[in-house]
Structure 1
Amino acid sequence: MATGTMKKHQEKLYVPKLKVNQIKLELFYETGQGQVIFDNISLREAGDKPSGAIKEVTHSLEERIALPLSKKHLLAIPDYIYQVAAGANQIVRIDNGTVEPLQEGHTLLEVFTKEGQKIADLPLEVTGKDDSKMTALISQWRQMILGADSYNASNPAMQALNKKLDDSVTKNLNSLVNNQKETYLWEDLKDFGKSSHMTATYRRLEEMAKQVNSPTSKYYQDTTLIRLIKDKLAWLHLNYYNPQKDIEGNANWWDYEIGTPRAIVNTLTLLYPYFTQDEIQAQTKSISHFVPNPKQFRSTLVNPFKAIGGNLVDMGRVKIIEALLTHDDAKLKESIEALDTLFEFQKDGSKGEGFYKDGSYIDHTNVAYTGAYGNVLIDGLSQLIPLLQASPMGLNAQKLEVIEHWIEKSFFPLLIHGELMDMSRGRSISRENASSRMAALEALRGILRLSHVLPEANKNRIQGQLKSILAFHDKETMLSSLSSYYDINLFEQLLANEAIKPMPMSTNLSVFQNMDKLAYYHADKDFGFALSMHSNRTLNFEAMNNENTRGWYTGDGMFYLYNHDLTHYSDKYWPTVNPLKMPGTTEAEGNREDVTDDYLKKLTTDYKEKAKEKAGMSTLPSSFVGAIKGDDKTALAAMDFQNWDRTLSAKKAWGIFDDRIVFLGAGIQSTKYQAVSTTIDQRKDNPENPYRLLVNGQEVSLTNEVLERDDVTSVLLLSQDGKNNIGYLFDKPTTLVFSRQEQSGRWSDINKGSTNKELVTQTFITISQRHQQANDTYAYTLLPNVSQEEFDKARTEASIEVVRNDSNLQILHDHKQDFWTVVNYHDGPQRINDQLILEKAGLYLYQKVGNVFKLLSKDLLPSD
């Protein structure tokens, strides 16, 4: 596949799978305009059809050895005895089957059988060091991915990592299949038709190469292990990953273009002194075949696509390191320049993938993915940038400012109490080993690396913020999450540096307009609030690769409350929460199909390109979704909502006034379902700090039964220590349904790839309001981290007034600060009060100063 203005000659070995006597060659055109010429097309016989049998790696005695001073040579036949010719010991020495150069010069190696019979004199030449610039960068990459030079033998975290890697290598060596005629290397990775097995196989060899480089490992410079790694790489190259292979069947392009080549270049980097340039060229030629263009994925398949975001960075971790290993200056320049698009902000409203100036990050076409693919981007880039800065092609000051913008505007607002908000993590929420706390550490790891390339003052400020966030993590857990001595050393240095003072997060309200999310942190009350919406530009949820099979309503106005229960979302929340009753959502009550790969295949058969939509993954028909802020304590959000199958609609709005968040719903109606409800909350009850339930100021005993009350004006969840209280004030007496129930589930229910089938159980308190009449409404105020005394006072003072709540207008008036928020759903004159008349649909936020209404913010949205 070739794109752009280029010439390309491609040669391919075609091996028919069946008995054929005719071949038809078809030329395919991708979308686009221009001229294309196919020239010099020929078919020629290449010999007998290969049998398809597994090829074995063979070794023969070297004819001569040419060795740069920076390399070592692993002797081809370990059973032979090699001796340096007399008088030449100052040029090379032989140690345990390895030739180590000492100085430039020529000599002979005398080769004997075990019985002492001389069979050859091998000419050996030691040349000067190879390209010192490239070699230095390769060494730096080795330090980045492992960091053996940073190893501190007295550091418990480093000791633990070394033991973990040693134990893993030992286990994999013991289970290795050494029969070259077999079709795999490990029994549990035997199906190379699943390309993930190929990637995992290469990664095990990479892990072995790490321990060869670790001075305290029992495998350090182990010649036998080095020989094994080289042989197995050669065997995989012969049989599975080479230029004559194709991405076929159920194989995933990702494994061929990112997963496997990353493991290959890292292994070659770790064992660089032991590979000849010819061996490196052979391995990387396969990478060049599957990944010929550093700006494009699926180049060897139909429907190639532009490399962007986290995947583009992963591409860089393949192509840049490949260029270093092959000492290819042109390829290095091309691969580094391919990253330039990362530093270009997407235009507001463009529906582009990548970062926006408002802090949004979009990936997979239209999914909010800061905490997943954004993490991949910043983690990978943070490894590459120190390398680039040491090269002639380092980033300029403008690009470093862009990186700082990502950190400050995209990541820090989503990091609350040591967690990375789940609303930004897409299908990653269904991964047991990727909790919100672990995702935070992943982001912080990349941010810490990047801080070291920023100007000193900026570096110190960002590291101060990092230190404050890390305080929410246990040090042992934090360091055990790191997979290199380099990173452990960076974290240890930060924690020990008394000159870097923790900088606690200040009150901050971030409106991520381009991904339809809102994040709020209230410093005085120390709580975080997140709001997850979707629109005609963003997807409600993504299920893919059998992950996040029950994420149905996570983008339908779900809210997250981060109080002092630090394990609320990170401790088995997602397999046990009732996915039909997500907090803040208005939904039809009824079961849904798990969005598995098998379900999607069935729908694809029936509905073709509409399969995802039929499964419930959809954008809204309406663009009337957005949020505005007046300051860091005042905001308004709205969503002209329709559910996934367009049978339920509601006008949903939220107002933030300091430590209070108002929820409004109007025009709630369904054309299909009888039972519709709004989930006021579904809160996990921490057994170590359980909640008592107070309704209208009176304690209500709630065990496993369902309780319905028709006169509710206030609800208080009163935690045992009083620090996690949550209050709810209702605009008028409301009928609510309460339950406290044990809920059970498995990680494998929401992620079919999980091997954990254990049933886990958590207790949840669920509060919901049923909607049994057309155009129903709801209106309530959330008060997080409120004391019982404060809540009792708030019950009587009614400082926030719901002026209007219907399908045309939703108006709130905060009497305390005289803020007015207005959601106007239609164009045309709308009277707000005696002084305000609005003509255009949109969101408006006013503050009355004296007798004047001052417009603080507005967003004109298209009306119905």
Structure 2
Amino acid sequence: MPHMSRRQVLSLLPAAGLLAAATPTPASARAAAAVDHPRVLANTVAMLAGTTEVNARPELAGKLASILATARQRLAAMDQAGDGELFAGLRLGTDDVQLRQAFQYLYEIALATRTPGSALEGDEAARRRAADGLVWLHERYFGDQSAGYYGNWHNWEIAIPTHVSRTLALLGDQVPEGLTATYLATMDAYLRNGKNGDVDLDSRFHTGANLADITANRILQGALTGDDARVGKAISDQATVFATIDPYDLQHGVTDGYYRDGSFIQHHRVAYTGSYGRALLSRVVQTLKMLEGVGGGASADLPAVVYRWVADGFAPLIFEGWMMEIVKGRAVVRPATGYTDVGVIAEAVADLTEHVDAAGALALKKYLKFLPAADQAAFVSPGSIARYAAIRADSSVPAADLNPAERSVAFNAMDRTVHRRPGYAFALARSSDRISKYEYMSGENLMPWFQGDGAYYLYLSGEDQREVFGVDYYTTVSPYRLAGVTAPVEERRTVPESYGGRLWYENPGHPLNFTSSSESQNTYVYFPVSGNSFSGGATLGAYGVSGMIQTDDAAYTAKQAGILPEDFVVYRNARATKSWFLLDDEIVVLAADVSGQGGRDAVTTVDSRIAAPGDAVTVTGESWTGRDWRPGDSAPPRWLRYANGTRGTAIGYAFLSRQPVSAGLETVTRSRRVVRTANPDTSVTKNVFTASITHPAKGGLTSLAYALVPNADGARLRAYTRGPLTVLANDRHVQAIRHEGLGIVAANVFTGGPRHVERLLVDGPASVIVRSDSRRSGGRTTVAVSDPTMKRDRVTVMLLGESLRLDGADEGVTAKRVPGGTLVQVTTHHAYGRTFTANLR
């Protein structure tokens, strides 16, 4: 299943897609590129509304009932509409969200009239009302370009055209003459981030999931008007999203898309697999369904690329049916859960089984059976529900994860790390001068400041993750006390609080032109990057090491340089050098050179977890003197244990350095609106556990070391006094540990020059893992090396006192015996954080 460059993708496109991309299109080319437009429309209607055969299946009863009930609700709202309204309660003319909803409601009415088995199927009166509604909206609120395009560009260029295009397809011959052409001309005019009313691959708006949405709409629009050139151009444009992003050879300057290591980026610098990546997966699979048997469609080789997205991009980020928080951008604070996110993916995967080869199809079917049952009510297509149900019911297909049972994944291209073991998964969010510290936008994710500063999430098997993470985690846990974060002691204001209720910083007169969707808004408000280049790590088999230098964000740095206006609000960050060592039974965390900056204290949060108020939660521990430790104890603990007896889960914290730890439980009640302005004003009460360590502004506590031990009991935690972990170094230059049982030495070297790590000499910056076992495979030593800065051409590691020979290595790795040991040289030029390994004997 290949990773594909843009050149390879274009080579796989059929002649129709390529010929139609040229404008103007000669008649001969149009003939060669002929598309079966009625088939595109029929495929689309079948995808959205189902077929008589599919809808007769018992699994579809719930979906059909939902389609009918929604349509009747929308028709009732039309009946109750007042002056200036199409639907009761939707005030049009200044609110783009309510205008989008009006078009959505018309689509939902039209859908019911074309859904076989629906009581409204073929209802001419309902169809006319939907068609008349399209005319009414265009005449009053959509056709006037001078009055439109307020609010979010996405509604005008993507969301509304999606509903309009699908409604026109569903209404078919009920559409008044000329209305389709009128709408297409208007929608083309609203494509203001495009070029000449079409996609512009050089536009920063026409990338990734956004590009897939726009082009899918234009394929359908071309089918509605019998326009081969429009369909062919849209297919060709959409095909570019299949190309693996090469950061050293960007096409059209686009960084959005999938990378070789499975990372997905949207908005140029945001880790976004779980939201925009999910949307992209869904839309390209829908396009494959639209173009089945059409001619001029995408190549049959492209589904293999999508399979790779699922196996390497999505599967590591899904734990027991839950999409991890680290790749959801601002969507982390939406009420929809990680289970709902995975339901969207499950629908796409079920449909993808029809397009990949037999081996890939079987692997995907096994994966669908392995995942918990998805909520099929959220599926778009009735056919997908039927396909998914058939796969789940097929006794000949065994359940199997796409992940190995033990897996450590360095998504270095998006500054994320995932570590999986039977019983738990650990997810880490980093940031750098490449990847943003967080995403805030449109009143979503109001308190995001530290989400990319080493925030981590420890998922335990058997938990209902809605009770542990999701929107309620961000609602009830302090934004300064997210698990894993080192934050300064201060109070910050949200964007609306900072700017008088506005959801962005407004200053169009400034040279940087601050408007809602401007590049300056992106850079300094919506998703600012950090100032450090060291963020990444190495993997060796199922083990890993990751590191990051925590610094200020781009806005604070620019304000100090006099680039930003005086009234622009910025905050200085705490500083720290951090490492995470990913093993079997534990995750070891080191922090050094910690400072709150500017005379402030800083606090490192070892963990924060939430539970229902009625859960039987206990916090126990033991001091270094051997006596029991309880919350409020001032003595440094040797270990702590958080246990939820109601849910049968526990986490241990083994401290490898001595320092006071503040740990305890607090009942917190807040509204979900504190994290997102559009959330319902739902009050949430949780029992919040927090364990944290304070770094006084005037004091010597600038470093610490501890291990997270999932599912630990007291006996296991006491055993850490006898090993197997040893902290070898923990300062701003080097952080390193040794695990005796695994034979592993792992290190992050943050600064240049050769640095000693036990019997290693590492030319930093670098991440290194060395595993040695004289009993294993004839005394093999394996070395894994990565450049977390992504800037180095070569990294060298000297194994001191070892005279070894090379016994297999990745391309670009050499090893030779030299006086004093064995020298391993790794060519990291243009590797973008990739790990290189060498086997030595």
Same fold (TM over 0.5): yes
Shift of the alpha carbon at 1:286? Answer: 2.4
Deviations 1:720-756 (A, max 9, x none): 26842211111133200012001122122211122x1
Picking from 400, 406, 416, the partner of 1:503 is 400
CA–CA distance in structure 2, aligned partners of residues 700 and 380 of structure 1: 56
Give 1:270-309 correspondences, 5 Å limit: 270-275=170-175, 278-291=178-191, 305=204, 307-309=206-208
Q: Which amino acid aligns with 1:856?
A: A
Partner of 1:231: 132
CA–CA distance in structure 2, aligned partners of residues 815 and 604 of structure 1: 58
2:330 matched to 1:427? yes
CA contact (8 A) 1:150 1:485 kept: no
Picking from 269, 283, 288, the partner of 1:385 is 288
Shift of the alpha carbon at 1:245? Answer: 2.1
CA–CA distance in structure 1, aligned partners of residues 272 and 305 of structure 2: 18
Shift of the alpha carbon at 1:225? Answer: 1.4
Give 1:552-631 correspondences, 5 Å limit: 552-563=449-460, 564-567=462-465, 568-570=468-470, 572-596=472-496, 598=501, 601-602=504-505, 604=507, 617-631=527-541
Shift of the alpha carbon at 1:480? Answer: 2.3
CA contact (8 A) 1:845 1:858 kept: no
Shift of the alpha carbon at 1:768? Answer: 0.3
Provide closer, same or farther for how the CA distance between residues 200 and 150 of structure 1 changes in structure 2, counting only shifts above 3 A: farther
Give 1:133-212 correspondences, 5 Å limit: 133-153=36-56, 155=58, 158-176=60-78, 182-212=83-113
Picking from 762, 785, 794, the partner of 2:686 is 762
CA contact (8 A) 1:150 1:489 kept: no
Deviations 1:461-493 (A, max 9, x none): 11101210135x5xxxx1222243222212211
Give 1:8-23 correspondences, 5 Å limit: none
Cα RMSD (Å): 2.9
Partner of 2:784: 856
Q: Which amino acid aligns with 1:320?
A: I
Give 1:732-743 correspondences, 5 Å limit: 732-743=657-668
Q: Which amino acid aligns with 1:817?
A: L
Partner of 1:811: 736
Provide closer, same or farther for how the CA distance between residues 226 and 550 of structure 1 changes in structure 2, counting only shifts above 3 A: same
2:684 matched to 1:684? no
Provide closer, same or farther for how the CA distance between residues 799 and 700 of structure 1 changes in structure 2, counting only shifts above 3 A: closer
Give 1:325-340 correspondences, 5 Å limit: 325-340=224-239
CA contact (8 A) 1:430 1:750 kept: yes
2:538 matched to 1:636? no
Shift of the alpha carbon at 1:459? Answer: 0.5
2:265 matched to 1:362? yes
Q: Which amino acid aligns with 1:642?
A: T
Q: Secondary structure at the match of 1:454?
A: coil
Partner of 2:702: 776
CA–CA distance in structure 1, aligned partners of residues 71 and 781 of structure 2: 70
Give 1:449-848 correspondences, 5 Å limit: 449-471=351-373, 478-504=375-401, 505=403, 506-523=405-422, 526-563=423-460, 564-567=462-465, 568-570=468-470, 572-596=472-496, 598=501, 601-602=504-505, 604=507, 617-632=527-542, 634-644=543-553, 645-686=571-612, 690-696=616-622, 707-720=632-645, 723-754=648-679, 756-772=680-696, 773=699, 776-792=702-718, 794-833=719-758, 835-848=759-772
Provide closer, same or farther for how the CA distance between residues 562 and 133 of structure 1 changes in structure 2, counting only shifts above 3 A: same
Q: Which amino acid aligns with 1:361?
A: F
Partner of 1:240: 141
CA–CA distance in structure 1, aligned partners of residues 300 and 137 of structure 2: 43
Report percent identity of matched pairs.
Answer: 21
CA–CA distance in structure 2, aligned partners of residues 223 and 330 of structure 1: 33
Shift of the alpha carbon at 1:710? Answer: 2.4
CA contact (8 A) 2:367 2:400 kept: yes
CA contact (8 A) 2:577 2:732 kept: yes
Q: Secondary structure at the match of 1:717?
A: strand
Shift of the alpha carbon at 1:782? Answer: 0.8
Q: Secondary structure at the match of 1:839?
A: strand
CA–CA distance in structure 2, aligned partners of residues 226 and 616 of structure 1: 42
Q: Give the TM-score taking structure 2 as reference length.
A: 0.80
Q: Secondary structure at the match of 1:821?
A: strand
CA–CA distance in structure 2, aligned partners of residues 248 and 503 of structure 1: 50
Provide closer, same or farther for how the CA distance between residues 173 and 253 of structure 1 changes in structure 2, counting only shifts above 3 A: same
Q: Secondary structure at the match of 1:220?
A: coil
Provide closer, same or farther for how the CA distance between residues 764 and 699 of structure 1 changes in structure 2, counting only shifts above 3 A: farther
CA contact (8 A) 1:682 1:767 kept: yes
Deviations 1:98-138 (A, max 9, x none): xxxxxxxxxxxxxxxxxxxxxxxxxxxxxxxxx99321221
Q: Which runs of 5+ in 1 are unaligned?
A: 1-130
Q: Which amino acid aligns with 1:636?
A: V
Partner of 2:812: none
Shift of the alpha carbon at 1:332? Answer: 1.0
Shift of the alpha carbon at 1:801? Answer: 0.4
Provide closer, same or farther for how the CA distance between residues 701 and 201 of structure 1 changes in structure 2, counting only shifts above 3 A: farther
Picking from 152, 158, 170, the partner of 1:258 is 158
Deviations 1:266-322 (A, max 9, x none): 1111111333664433333322333499x7698799x95451111111112210000
Partner of 1:408: 311
Shift of the alpha carbon at 1:711? Answer: 2.2
Provide closer, same or farther for how the CA distance between residues 465 and 247 of structure 1 changes in structure 2, counting only shifts above 3 A: farther
CA–CA distance in structure 2, aligned partners of residues 388 and 234 of structure 1: 29
Deviations 1:190-246 (A, max 9, x none): 22222222221111111111111123333221121122222221222223333x524
Q: Which amino acid aligns with 1:240?
A: Y
Q: How many residues align?
A: 713
Shift of the alpha carbon at 1:622? Answer: 1.4
CA–CA distance in structure 1, aligned partners of residues 105 and 300 of structure 2: 39
CA contact (8 A) 1:323 1:329 kept: yes
CA–CA distance in structure 2, aligned partners of residues 626 and 132 of structure 1: 47
Please say which structure displays the higher CA radius of gyration: 1
Q: Which amino acid aligns with 2:304?
A: E
CA contact (8 A) 1:148 1:213 kept: no
Deviations 1:738-791 (A, max 9, x none): 12001122122211122x112211111100011122561110011112344433
Picking from 311, 314, 318, the partner of 2:210 is 311
Shift of the alpha carbon at 1:148? Answer: 3.9
CA contact (8 A) 1:600 1:612 kept: no
Q: Give the TM-score taking structure 1 as reference length.
A: 0.78
Partner of 1:56: none
Provide closer, same or farther for how the CA distance between residues 841 and 305 of structure 1 changes in structure 2, counting only shifts above 3 A: closer
CA contact (8 A) 2:589 2:706 kept: yes
CA–CA distance in structure 1, aligned partners of residues 586 and 196 of structure 2: 47
CA–CA distance in structure 1, aligned partners of residues 81 and 246 of structure 2: 56
Shift of the alpha carbon at 1:424? Answer: 0.4
Provide closer, same or farther for how the CA distance between residues 672 and 176 of structure 1 changes in structure 2, counting only shifts above 3 A: same
Deviations 1:525-549 (A, max 9, x none): x211100000000111111011011
Deviations 1:379-404 (A, max 9, x none): 11111112224221333354222111
Q: Secondary structure at the match of 1:848?
A: strand
